[in-house]
Amino acid sequence: MTETSPPADAPERAFFGRRKGKRLRGLQEQRLAELLPRLRVAPPAEGRLDPATLFPGIADGPSEVWLEIGFGGGEHLAAQAEARPDIGIVGAEPFVNGVAKLLRAVDERGLRNVRIRDEDVSPLLAALPDACLARVYLLYPDPWPKRRQRKRRFVSDESLAEIARVLRPGGLFRFASDIDDYVGWTLMRTARCPALRWTARKAADWTQPYSGWPGTRYEAKAIAAGRRPTYLEFERIA
């Protein structure tokens, strides 16, 4: 993601920047008006939200539910949803143009196992019950590189504790970035989270993409610019 100024009404620690980029075309606007409301996920006013109930299109319910935080253009999320139609995937992304790109993939590929949170993911995380997710992805989040901005990075002691809470035992948290400082920042904070264990055993475990990795548009730009991505994986332990 590129560094941008947050909207005036954004919370103090909003981890995202701008909400909209280039002007949307007619079909994009139509999908936002007609398709998004059918896929949108909102936290309930009271109580918890069982994510398994969000996917009536999956016969007998999803075998697992995954969450991708900040899905960008949706390349990874759409590829995973197409490869695993038995899995329910919730994607959170406040950037309208990114949501429009994912909606196109959902529409054109007939994906029935995708749901979208087009606002801050934090209220959604807080509404999820314990141990309800099998995977959480955070791929190429905005690094907020300036020192005064770092409090806006999504990875924090508090957010990792919340991710660990919603992951079931053995569930995976996957983090990818091409910014070394953010990688170190994340490793330091996950080391302080007693419920998460780094799964790496050798260097290739964090320098090679995950199995079945489809790549993302941002990753391709980073590699073209000479930046090397890092792929971290953490397991939820009892």
Instruction: Give yes or no for a contact between 175 and 189, defined as CB atoms under 8 angstroms apart.
Output: no
**Residues 150-189: pLDDT tens digits?**
888 999 999 999 999 999 999 999 999 999 999 999 999 9
Q: What is the model's pTM?
A: 0.89
Tell whether the model's pLDDT for residue 52 goes beyond 90. Answer: yes
Catalytic (active-site) positions: 142
**Residues 216-236: pLDDT tens digits?**
988 999 999 999 999 999 999
Q: Which residues contact 219 (CB under 8 A, 6 or more apart)?
A: 140, 176, 178, 229
Alpha-carbon distance of 226 to 114, in angstroms, equals 33
Helices (H), the chain: 26-34, 36-39, 75-83, 96-109, 122-127, 157-166, 180-191, 204-207, 217-224
101-105, 140-144, 193-197: which range is least confident on average? 140-144
**Residues 106-120: pLDDT tens digits?**
999 999 999 999 999
Q: What per-residue confidence (pLDDT) applies to 86?
A: 97
Q: What per-residue confidence (pLDDT) applies to 190?
A: 98
Q: What per-residue confidence (pLDDT) applies to 25?
A: 79
